[in-house]
Amino acid sequence: MKKNFFIFLFIFILLPIQVWAEDTSGLDVDHDGLTNSEEINKYYTDYLNSDTDGDGYFDGEEIAKHFSPHAKAKTLSQYDLDGDGLSDWLEIQFGTNLNNYDTDGDGFSDYNEVLNSYDPLNSKPIKLPQEIIIDTTKQTLTAKLNNISLVIFPVSTGKAGYETTRGEYEINNKIPRAWSKTYGLWMPYWMSFIGSQYGIHELPEWPGGIKEGQNHLGTPVSHGCVRLGIGPAEWLYNWANIGTKVKVK
Ligand SMILES: [Ca+2]
Ligand SMILES: [Ca+2]
Ligand SMILES: [Ca+2]
Ligand SMILES: [Ca+2]
């Protein structure tokens, strides 16, 4: 009799409780468009509150529109839940944990790993592929790691008659401050990618210290090189390695 009771207890009470408990992760109890599991394990939102940051928009709606469900009027790119320097948007792209600054537990933060092109999901020092995309139509340069866009900068490429040649290349040399004999000017943060003649560099400087204006960025005015602004040129120079792929389209 006692044995039958326990069988009864298991089949009709404990088993359904167990099944119910397992199933809740796939449910969306607050009806905000995210499953309980996504809220608990991926986005760190309140699975019992459809609007975690109280801004009037559902958590799922915010994620779908690239807004942060944690902060009012901030996009996922503008918010950094764990404060490691890597935005929630990039954490989602790389598959790292939004709420843990060191997802793979190797002592290096997700931000540091991505900035130095290491895989933030693997505790071994594995490098991810870098790529630079130069869009001559949009006049932009995009730095990609593992095919994920890290940053987009405005550039100035070759003007009519001197167009930067489309194609696939790679960085073949880096010089912190190169001198152009042809044009008699300095090209800070020089990285050549078409032979030694064409490269990416900061806005040129004339002898005497006069620098080409920032307002040229976004307009093709160069003789074929790719000009970057103050700040972005240094960032890219430090980020890219010799051998980094460069695609001009
Ligand atoms: Ca939900
Ligand atoms: Ca909200
Ligand atoms: Ca972060
Ligand atoms: Ca790490």
pLDDT at 19 (0 to 100): 53
Q: What is the pLDDT of residues 54-65, one digit of tens each?
A: 999 999 999 999
Asked if 78 and 179 sit in the same domain, the reply is: no
Separation between Cα atoms, residue 209 and residue 187, nearest integer Å: 12
In a domain, 120, yes or no: no
Asked if 134 and 111 sit in the same domain, the reply is: no
Choose the final residue of a domain: 115, 139, 155. Answer: 115
Cα(27) to ligand 2 centroid in Å equals 19
Asked if 104 and 135 sit in the same domain, the reply is: no
pLDDT at 9 (0 to 100): 53
207-213 CB contacts, 8 Å cutoff, 24+ apart: none
Domain containing 39: what range? 2-115
Cα(110) to ligand 4 centroid in Å equals 5
Asked if 84 and 141 sit in the same domain, the reply is: no
Asked if 194 and 227 sit in the same domain, the reply is: yes
| Ion ligand 4, residues whose Cβ is below 5 A away | 102, 104, 106, 108
Cα(57) to ligand 3 centroid in Å equals 22
154: domain CATH number is: 2.40.440.10
Asked if 213 and 159 sit in the same domain, the reply is: yes
Separation between Cα atoms, residue 225 and residue 157, nearest integer Å: 6
In a domain, 190, yes or no: yes
Q: Which one of the ligands is nearest to 61 CA?
A: 2
Q: Give Cα separations from 181 to 11, 32, 49, 231 (angstroms).
A: 86, 62, 65, 25
Q: Which one of the ligands is nearest to 50 CA?
A: 1
Q: What is the pLDDT of residues 198-210, one digit of tens each?
A: 999 999 999 988 9
Asked if 106 and 57 sit in the same domain, the reply is: yes
Q: Which one of the ligands is nearest to 100 CA?
A: 3
Cα(164) to ligand 1 centroid in Å equals 49
pLDDT at 118 (0 to 100): 98
Q: How many structural domains does the chain have? A: 2
pLDDT at 213 (0 to 100): 83
Q: Which one of the ligands is nearest to 51 CA?
A: 2
pTM, two decimal places: 0.85
Asked if 110 and 148 sit in the same domain, the reply is: no
Q: Which residues pair with 192 in a beta bridge?
A: 173, 199
Asked if 18 and 90 sit in the same domain, the reply is: yes
Asked if 76 and 135 sit in the same domain, the reply is: no
| Ion ligand 1, residues whose Cβ is below 5 A away | 28, 30, 32, 34
Cα(224) to ligand 2 centroid in Å equals 47
Q: Which one of the ligands is nearest to 54 CA?
A: 2
Cα(49) to ligand 2 centroid in Å equals 9
Separation between Cα atoms, residue 81 and residue 98, nearest integer Å: 6
Cα(38) to ligand 2 centroid in Å equals 15
Asked if 238 and 134 sit in the same domain, the reply is: yes
| Ion ligand 2, residues whose Cβ is below 5 A away | 51, 53, 55, 57
Q: Which one of the ligands is nearest to 115 CA?
A: 4
- Three-state SS string over the chain comes to CHHHHHHHHHHHHHHHHHHHHHHHHHCCCCCCCCCHHHHHHHHCCCCCCCCCCCCCCCHHHHHHCCECCCCCCCEHHHCCCCCCCCCHHHHHHHCCCCCCCCCCCCCCCHHHHHHCCECCCCCCCCECCEEEEEECCCCEEEEEECCEEEEEEEEECECCCCCCCCEEEECCEEEEEEEECCCCEEEEEEEEEECCCEEEEECCECCCCCECCHHHCCCCCECCCEEECCCHHHHHHHHCCCCCEEEEC
Cα(62) to ligand 1 centroid in Å equals 12
pLDDT at 23 (0 to 100): 65
153 near 144, Cβ under 8 Å? no
pLDDT at 11 (0 to 100): 55
Q: Which residues of the chain have pLDDT under 70?
A: 1-23
pLDDT at 205 (0 to 100): 96
- Radius of gyration for the alpha carbons in the chain, expressed in angstroms and rounded: 26
pLDDT at 24 (0 to 100): 77
